[in-house]
């Protein structure tokens, strides 16, 4: 079923990127994801091709989905669908054309990675763009972001550039990940984020299990504050979109849940 859906996307020449949970699994930063999330090229003709591909694959509308029209695509709405003939086998599909915190689709597509999977060869968003997409309100996303940053460094050609190291350090949100980088890259101190506590610069001097508790506590509090800032920014991003969805629901303009995509 999922393989036939991706085959339909290819047959209809849909431009898309695999993002979110399944992308993190392919990069080895997560072990499981139930849903499929796509970043769709927002061009109107591409959206039309996507609608045709989804209809051919038997897709149905799911909850709180506006019409798949340019105004809602450009506004950054999420579009929710199901694949499958019964509720027991349904696969949930979430689609966005303008995800938060990302650059233009064309730029991200030019730097995507193509993974061979059981569903076919899938164009998958690059790690830097995926990291920005994962800076959500969900606390569980931040260890995954840290794992993605480590994968990014592992995939760089030696020696790792100062810019790559600075980007990775700025996207580490667990103490374990910070110690991993400190051990592998002694020069990491030069890439410490602005506003980092002085104690952060001392972690390379000893192993994690030998570090003073007060040092670990200060770093943990700093990481928590950094995560909170990202969570607040994500919440503010969605506030206007959620209000528009409420208005669409009040006025009966959402797509009927369970209706086939046509």
Q: Give the pLDDT score at 206.
A: 74
Across the chain, what does the average pLDDT equal?
93
Q: What is the pLDDT of residues 199-246, one digit of tens each?
A: 888 886 677 788 889 989 999 999 999 999 999 999 999 999 999 999
Confidence grade of residue 87 (pLDDT, cut at 50, 70, 90): low
Residues 205 and 105 in one domain: no
Predicted pLDDT at 191 = 83
Instruction: Give the residue-averaged pLDDT of 189-196.
Output: 85
Q: Is residue 200 part of a domain?
A: yes
Number of domains in the chain: 2
Where is average pLDDT lowest: 19-28, 30-39, 230-239? 30-39
- Dig out the tokens for 163 from the structure: 């810019």
- Same domain for 78 and 149? no
105-157 pLDDT, tens digit each: 999 999 999 999 999 999 999 999 999 999 999 999 999 999 999 999 999 88
Decide if 262 is inside a domain. no
Rounded to an integer, what distance in angstroms lies between the CA atom of residue 151 and that of residue 159? 15
- Looking up tokens 């001392």 gives 202
Q: What percent of the chain has pLDDT over 70?
A: 98
- What pLDDT does 240 receive? 96
18 and 111 together in one domain:
yes
The confidence band for 34, taking pLDDT boundaries of 50, 70 and 90, is confident
Look-up of token digits 């849903």: 35
Same domain, 70 and 104: yes
Q: Which residues contact 136 (CB under 8 A, 6 or more apart)?
A: 230, 231, 234
Q: Do both 7 and 115 map to the same domain?
A: yes
**How many C-beta atoms lie closer than 10 Å to residue 89's C-beta?**
10
Same domain (yes/no): 154, 115: no
Both 203 and 116 in a single domain? no
Residues 204 and 18: their CA atoms lie apart, in Å, by 36
Q: For residue 59, is it within any domain?
A: yes
- Asked whether residue 149 falls in the same domain as residue 121, the answer is no
Domain extent, residue 187, equals 141-237
Residues 214, 160: one domain?
yes
81: domain CATH number is 3.30.460.40
Task: Check whether residue 107 and residue 185 sit in a common domain.
Answer: no
Q: Which of 126, 157, 173 is the last residue of a domain?
A: 126
Q: Are residues 111 and 198 in the same domain?
A: no
H or E, element range at 238: helix 213-250
Q: Is 32 a member of any domain?
A: yes
Q: What percent of the chain has pLDDT over 90?
A: 80
Q: Is residue 135 part of a domain?
A: no
Complete edge-to-edge strand list for the sheet that includes strand 60-61: 60-61, 78-83, 91-96, 36-40, 16-19, 120-124, 113-117
Say whether pLDDT at 86 is over 70: no
Continuous segment of H or E residues that includes residue 227: helix 213-250
259: tokens are 């209706």
Closest CA to 188 of 172, 169, 171, 175: 169
């Amino acid at each position: 079923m999922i393989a036939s859906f991706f085959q339909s996307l290819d047959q209809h020449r849909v431009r898309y990127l695999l993002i979110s949970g399944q992308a993190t699994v392919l990069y080895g930063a997560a072990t499981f994801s139930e849903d499929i999330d796509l970043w769709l090229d927002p061009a109107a003709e591409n959206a039309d091709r996507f609608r045709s591909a989804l209809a051919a694959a038997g897709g149905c509308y799911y909850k709180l989905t506006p019409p798949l029209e340019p105004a809602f695509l450009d506004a950054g709405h999420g579009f929710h669908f199901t694949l499958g003939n019964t509720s027991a086998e349904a696969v949930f599909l979430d689609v966005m054309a303008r995800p938060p915190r990302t650059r233009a689709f064309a730029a991200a597509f030019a730097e995507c990675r193509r993974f061979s999977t059981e569903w076919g060869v899938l164009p998958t968003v690059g790690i830097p763009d995926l990291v920005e997409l994962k800076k959500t309100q969900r606390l569980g996303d931040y260890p995954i972001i840290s794992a993605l940053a480590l994968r990014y460094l592992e995939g760089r050609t030696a020696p790792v550039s100062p810019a790559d190291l600075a980007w990775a350090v700025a996207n580490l949100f667990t103490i374990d990940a910070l110690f991993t980088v400190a051990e592998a890259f002694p020069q990491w101190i030069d890439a410490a984020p602005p506003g980092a506590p002085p104690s952060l610069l001392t972690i390379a001097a000893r192993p994690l299990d030998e570090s003073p508790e007060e040092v670990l506590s200060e770093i943990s509090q700093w990481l928590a504050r950094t995560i909170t800032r990202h969570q607040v920014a994500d919440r503010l991003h969605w506030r206007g979109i959620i209000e528009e969805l409420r208005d669409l629901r009040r006025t009966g303009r959402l797509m009927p849940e369970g209706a086939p995509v046509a």
